[in-house]
Amino acid sequence: MIGAAQDWLEARVPFDDAARQQSLPLLDRAAQALLAADPTGRTPLTVVDLGAGTGKSAAWFRRHLSPRLPGRSINWLLVDAHEPSLEIATQHLTDADTVVTPLSDLPAALDNHLPERPAPGTLLLTCSAVLDVLTQDDVEAILTTLTTHHGVGLFLLSITADWHLEPADPRDPELAQAFADHQRRDGKLGAEGGEAMLRTARERGIHTTHGNSAWQLNAPRDTEFTRRFLTERVAAAVEASPELEVEARDWLETRNRQAADHLNVTVDHCDVLVDARRDH
Ligand SMILES: C[S@@+](CC[C@H](N)C(=O)[O-])C[C@H]1O[C@@H](n2cnc3c(N)ncnc32)[C@H](O)[C@@H]1O
């Protein structure tokens, strides 16, 4: 997916923000790694939000990272393949630079923005809701950038294959599988995105940590968002498995009714911290 719908990115914000409360321990560890690498705090830090879209995730990282790195000068860089999204992002994050590039070209695309001989721990790569839409080549490019610059990577909210609906419906697993198939189209990692990042980093001998940051959608508070979320999931599932169309339509009608009063949905996400500083 290049360029997610702007109103969808906007609608997600409260749910992403709530889920990322669970990511704060990993954010703390990332900040500690950056502080430990330069106890004087004099070397400017570069934070690059990958797949930044309209800037919602970068705004969250900035809000939560700045107090953890007091007094530190931070250059913000937003990277995405979709230029119109980045134009919106810079209306809010006015001091951030942007780079329009596919992530598979990341090391070269950042050349002009990062020092040739970087001090370890002066680069943080972040992303949120992005690993699952990437390919293995993108993951390799991100890790190459991190190892070249001895940086730290914090990759949040990568969707996994697990979602739990309460009450359960016997058709849930089949539709979840069809959605997972849709997410893997065109060589994308889909639900394996977080796992692929962890595995590939470990294969390169890079230290990793991981966590979970599920969305919790509860009726009746979240009726509108839950309906939109399920409608888009079902559309994707049917695109991957057209034979499910009738069943999926019936399932969606039932779920939309339940979303008004008693449906609770948990959507699991994986968080990954990658520490590619030389010494840790
Ligand atoms: C779900 S959106 C997340 C946006 C933002 N991180 C947020 O949380 O609001 C995924 C973003 O990744 C970008 N993207 C997807 N694949 C990409 C790729 N291969 N290279 C660069 N950007 C990509 C899309 O254009 C989109 O803006």
Q: pLDDT tens-digit profile of 189-201?
A: 999 999 999 999 9
Q: How many domains does the chain have?
A: 1
Kindly state if the Cβ of 62 falls inside 6 Å of ligand 1.
no
| Domain span including residue 127 | 6-161+187-214+269-275
**Two structure tokens written together for 249:** 């339509």
**Two structure tokens written together for 149:** 């610059």
Kindly state if the Cβ of 129 falls inside 6 Å of ligand 1.
yes
Atom of ligand 1 minimally distant from the CA of 1:
15
Q: Give the number of other Cβ atoms within 10 Å of residue 181's Cβ.
A: 16
Kindly state if the Cβ of 1 falls inside 6 Å of ligand 1.
yes
Q: Is 99 contained in some domain?
A: yes
Q: Is 58 contained in some domain?
A: yes
Confidence of residue 280 (pLDDT cuts 50, 70, 90): very low
Kindly state if the Cβ of 147 falls inside 6 Å of ligand 1.
no
CATH value at residue 47: 3.40.50.150
Backbone angles phi, psi at 222, to 5 degrees: -110, 30
85: CA distance to ligand 1 center in Å? 9
Confidence of residue 1 (pLDDT cuts 50, 70, 90): low
**Digit-coded pLDDT (tens) for 63-117:** 999 999 999 999 999 999 999 999 999 999 999 999 999 999 999 999 999 988 8
Q: Is 153 contained in some domain?
A: yes
Q: Is 85 contained in some domain?
A: yes
**Mutation test residue for ligand 1: of 1, 76, 267, the one with most atoms within 8 Å of CB:** 1
Give the closest residue (by CA) to ligand 1 atom 1: 129
Q: Is 247 contained in some domain?
A: no
Q: Is 123 contained in some domain?
A: yes
Q: Is 229 contained in some domain?
A: no
User: Which residues have C-beta within 8 Å of that of residue 149, sequence separation ≥ 6?
Assistant: 114, 118, 122, 123, 276
Atom of ligand 1 minimally distant from the CA of 80:
22
Strands 123-128 and 45-50: parallel
Give the closest residue (by CA) to ligand 1 atom 20: 102
Q: Is 248 contained in some domain?
A: no
